[in-house]
């Protein structure tokens, strides 16, 4: 049985290998300034690690699973670059966003480049079934983004619709990450489907915690302005809970663009508490499914990551 520190060591070792593959896969002298400012490999790499963990339940060549994991991370990076353009975000992880520094065209080109590099790695290392799954996931992500675009500044969004968007925008990629690693590792289908569900539940919790942190954290910690989603007209779950119970003062602040007052009100709201409770429920369901997985190092790595995500501060 591995000790707690061994789990952390295992995760860190996988992260270092993944970062190296990730950097090597996007080395292009013409794009070097953009790539450097993007800072690949400085994020949490959770999706790539999930892919490695999924593969660890079966048998798959180490280099191949690392390249698939890098492809998943490139896919994620591409969506971030495009998201920043759509959201007109000036900062990402404390850095100036690509489109803010180099222009929208540069941001679009870089996002497309990252998508292309991801597909090159997928096509070299994955079965046709997995490539179809990747394509379906990208379609789902785009649908979530489109739904969000048409719901900005709207007081009529339902909680059900919002959670559906969270599935599309966030949870679907977590789900794909665990699924594709396990599927390409020839893991039994019941374990593949269980990992897919774990990815979904974890991704839902991850986004809801993001919603909470957007209200409760600071710009220094988040690397972007606090309340940024609200300012962009993206009314997240804490906001929707309050609007659904007809919080007229919050509605007034939002209508008048008094976003600092809106954030202050939300910090002590029932809506924030209910969002935290729902994130905990998703996490507990995920952890219960993890317990049902074969007792391996990968299972314990997955457990540690999911537990840490519930208590993160950025």
The predicted pLDDT at position 314 comes to: 58
The predicted pLDDT at position 310 comes to: 77
The predicted pLDDT at position 207 comes to: 95
CATH of residue 146's domain is: 1.10.600.10
The predicted pLDDT at position 189 comes to: 96
The predicted pLDDT at position 18 comes to: 84
289-314 tens-digit pLDDT: 999 999 998 999 999 999 988 777 55
d(CA 122, CA 70): 9
Segments of the chain with pLDDT less than 70: 1-11, 29, 32-33, 36-43, 92-94, 219-225, 313-314
The predicted pLDDT at position 263 comes to: 94
Number of domains in the chain: 1
The predicted pLDDT at position 156 comes to: 87
130-156 burial: b if 16+ Cβ within 10 Å, else e: beebbeebbebbeebbebbeebeeeee
Query: Residue 192's domain spans which residues?
Result: 4-310
> Helix (H) and strand (E) counts for the chain?
17, 2
Would you say 236 and 158 are in contact if contact means Cβ atoms under 8 Å apart? no
Q: How far does Cα 25 stand from its chain's mean position? A: 21
The predicted pLDDT at position 16 comes to: 82
The predicted pLDDT at position 2 comes to: 41
pTM of the model: 0.90
Q: Mark residue 233 as left, alpha or beta (left: phi above 0; alpha: psi -120 to 50; beta: remaining).
A: left
């Amino acid at each position: 049985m591995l000790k707690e520190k061994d789990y952390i060591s295992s995760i860190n070792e996988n992260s270092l290998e993944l970062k190296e593959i990730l950097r090597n896969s996007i080395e292009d002298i013409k794009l070097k300034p953009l790539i450097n400012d993007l800072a690949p490999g400085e994020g949490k790499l959770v999706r790539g690690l999930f892919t490695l963990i999924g593969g660890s339940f079966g048998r798959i060549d180490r280099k191949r699973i690392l390249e698939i994991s890098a492809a998943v991370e490139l896919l994620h990076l591409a969506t971030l670059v495009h998201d920043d353009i759509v959201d007109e975000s000036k900062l990402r992880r404390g850095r100036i966003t690509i489109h803010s520094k180099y222009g929208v065209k540069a941001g679009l080109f870089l996002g497309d480049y990252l998508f292309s590099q991801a597909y090159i790695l997928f096509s070299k290392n994955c079965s046709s079934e997995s490539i179809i799954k990747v394509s379906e996931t990208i379609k789902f992500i785009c649908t979530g983004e489109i739904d969000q675009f048409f719901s900005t500044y709207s007081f009529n969004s339902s909680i059900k619709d919002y959670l559906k968007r969270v599935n599309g925008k966030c949870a679907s990629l977590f789900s794909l990450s665990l699924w594709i690693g396990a599927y390409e590792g020839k893991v039994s289908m019941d374990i593949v489907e269980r990992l897919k569900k774990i990815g979904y539940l974890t991704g839902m919790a991850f986004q809801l915690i993001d919603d909470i942190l957007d209200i409760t954290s600071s710009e220094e910690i988040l690397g972007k302005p606090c309340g940024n989603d609200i300012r962009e007209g993206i009314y997240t779950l804490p906001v929707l809970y309050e609007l659904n119970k007809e919080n007229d003062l919050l509605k007034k602040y939002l209508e008048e663009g008094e976003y600092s007052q809106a954030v202050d009100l939300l910090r002590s709201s029932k809506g924030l508490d209910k969002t935290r409770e729902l994130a905990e429920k998703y996490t507990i369901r995920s952890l219960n499914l993890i317990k049902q997985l074969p007792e391996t190092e990968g299972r314990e790595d997955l457990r540690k990551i999911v537990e840490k995500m519930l208590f993160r501060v950025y």
